[in-house]
Amino acid sequence: MRHHRLQLHTWLVPLSVVLAVASCDVTTNPGSFFVTYRASLLGVATIDSVLYSPGTGKCVTTCNADSSFIKVTNPGLSAQGIYAIELTVPNGATVEAHLYGNGTAAGTAQFAAIIMTASGTLSGDSVTTATAAATKFTLAIAKRTL
């Protein structure tokens, strides 16, 4: 009985195919987004409430009264005057947020939505308003589909 040695070309072709397929550049879907709503109000305002979309995608038209929104009443600020909400939402989700504040001094209040994809791409929206003592205001991050 004669034994045949394994020829180099016998295993080289399948190995080349496997390596070629493994090295293909595949476009990936980010799958989800990390969203941070952040308010900066140091010394100029307090927050009465924040109404935000958790990314359920249920909000279709006028979303202020939509039951898919989460309302946080009288949230506290950090020592730096910052309030933040962080959440992960799926691809195709709708996000939107509204901050209802009360001015305590003249200055500028800022509200931002910072959006990061799984691949590290950063985008966002922000709004600012001038504040004055004893003046109510609203900051709104417009509805956006991710």
Four-CA torsion 93, 111, 98, 80, nearest 10 degrees: 110
In a 10 Å sphere around its CB, with 0-12 CB exposed, 13-18 middle and 19+ buried, how is residue 59 labelled? buried
- How many domains does the structure of the chain reveal? 1
Task: Say if 11 falls within a structural domain.
Answer: no
Task: Say if 10 falls within a structural domain.
Answer: no
Report pTM: 0.71
Mean pLDDT, the chain, rounded, equals 77
Instruction: Choose between 119 and 22: higher pLDDT.
Output: 119
Q: Which of 89, 94, 82 is nearest to 116 (CA)?
A: 89
Mean pLDDT of 73-86: 89
Task: Report the share of the chain in percent with pLDDT over 70.
Answer: 71
Q: Which domain holds residue 52?
A: 29-145
CA-CA distance, 31 to 15, in Å (whole number)? 32
Task: Say if 24 falls within a structural domain.
Answer: no
Task: Say if 93 falls within a structural domain.
Answer: yes
Task: Say if 6 falls within a structural domain.
Answer: no
pLDDT at 58: 56
Task: Say if 81 falls within a structural domain.
Answer: yes
Six-digit token pair at 90? 């799926």
Task: Say if 13 falls within a structural domain.
Answer: no
Task: Say if 114 falls within a structural domain.
Answer: yes
- pLDDT reading at 84 higher than 80: yes
